[in-house]
Amino acid sequence: MFPCQPRGPRHTVVRPEDIRVITDSRPRHNLFQGKVNAVIFMGDSLECQVLVGNQRLRTKLHPSYHVQQGQNISLELPAECCRALRGP
């Protein structure tokens, strides 16, 4: 295990296809509430833009998901899929 040392600002990034829509009420880590801003059918997937606070997240979902613009949803960013990058 490597010790963590603060070294300035970081940004957390995650691939759009790794963001999960959560429909149950089990406690989880990295869970965010957001509002669907846009849904675009891409054939093999749905691209959704979700507003979480003042941040916009882009998700890539299976086309069988039923999400609509304006809908409130819960998103999980699995820790194993997140990467920290140095900030400006």
pTM of the model as a whole: 0.79
Could you give the count of Cα atoms lying within 13 Å of 11 in the half-sphere of its Cβ? 7
Burial 33-52 (b: 16+ CB within 10 A, else e): ebebeebeeeeebbebbbee
Structural domains of the chain ordered from first start: 25-78 (2.40.50.140)
Measured CA to CA, the distance from residue 13 to residue 22 in angstroms comes to 19
Helix (H/G/I), strand (E/B), else coil: 32: strand
Within 8 A by CB and 6+ apart from 33, the residues are 52, 72, 73, 74, 75
Query: pLDDT digit string (tens) for 22-80?
Result: 988 888 888 999 999 999 999 999 999 999 999 999 999 999 989 999 999 999 999 99
